[in-house]
A = this chain, B = another copy of it.
């Protein structure tokens, strides 16, 4: 069985324009075009019969908006390819595209087919900030580590279908000189590891500061939050940003408890007392 992460690496190795969360394409003097493509598959990312077609359209586009936001870009346009399951009605098809529009991006094209199972693929196009796309690799020791909202329990609460992509918060972060950014799709512990590895730094996360929807372990390890995780210059706290720790020299992340005890914070799992 092939692993998704290996595949992403393999594709990135063949395609030098693959950026962190989006492809980064030179369209100067207009600007830098950001492009990302994301799917919502029945039974994998949402359920057609219980979540409904609007959730498919919404989530597919919202995932793309989150990717563009993570690179500090302004989303401009979306195209949506949909496969409708047998017996889908016109009302369901309309609901799917209306859901896609509701995510907050101009829908400029579509491709509709009928097949064995429902899926939607949205490709979102945006423009990077004039200063260039925000990468994962710019975090510096001393930076403040921030997130844009409470974390955890997204899949069980249904928030993974209704989350608001952090486009405005991303703009504020860019205006405040953000050094590095990523969106939280795989969970804080995993996505933080990506950011730290790309930047060649470590981090200290203060347990008491992590905003939680449920328990702390959920906030640390659950996926599909679609909040932004960013490293901002010391002393900076843009609107919508919540401080959770500090970037430090070294590598890897440490979780600092209220009593001062420390644990390593490893991707996908929290190892107490290690």
From A119-127, A156-164, A203-211, A215-223, the one touching the partner chain is A119-127
In the complex, chain B residues whose CB is within 8 Å of the CB of A45: 113
Q: Which residue of B lies closest to A87 (CB)?
A: B1
In this complex, the member of A7, A38, A44, A121 whose beta carbon has the largest number of chain B beta carbons within 10 angstroms is A121
Indicate with 1 or 0, residue by residue over A248-261, a CB within 8 angstroms of chain B CB atoms. Answer: 00000000000000
Quickly give the copy total for this chain: 2
A98 to B94, CA, bound (A): 35
Q: Which residue of B lies closest to A100 (CB)?
A: B11
A42 to B87, CA, bound (A): 18
Name the interface residues of A75-119: CB closer than 8 Å to any CB of B.
Answer: 76-77, 79-81, 83-84, 87-90, 92-94, 97, 101, 106-117, 119
A274 to chain B, nearest CB (A): 32
From A20-28, A171-179, A192-200, A227-235, the one touching the partner chain is A20-28
A116 to B119, CA, bound (A): 10
Indicate with 1 or 0, residue by residue over A14-57, a CB within 8 angstroms of chain B CB atoms. Answer: 11011000110101111101011111011111000000000000
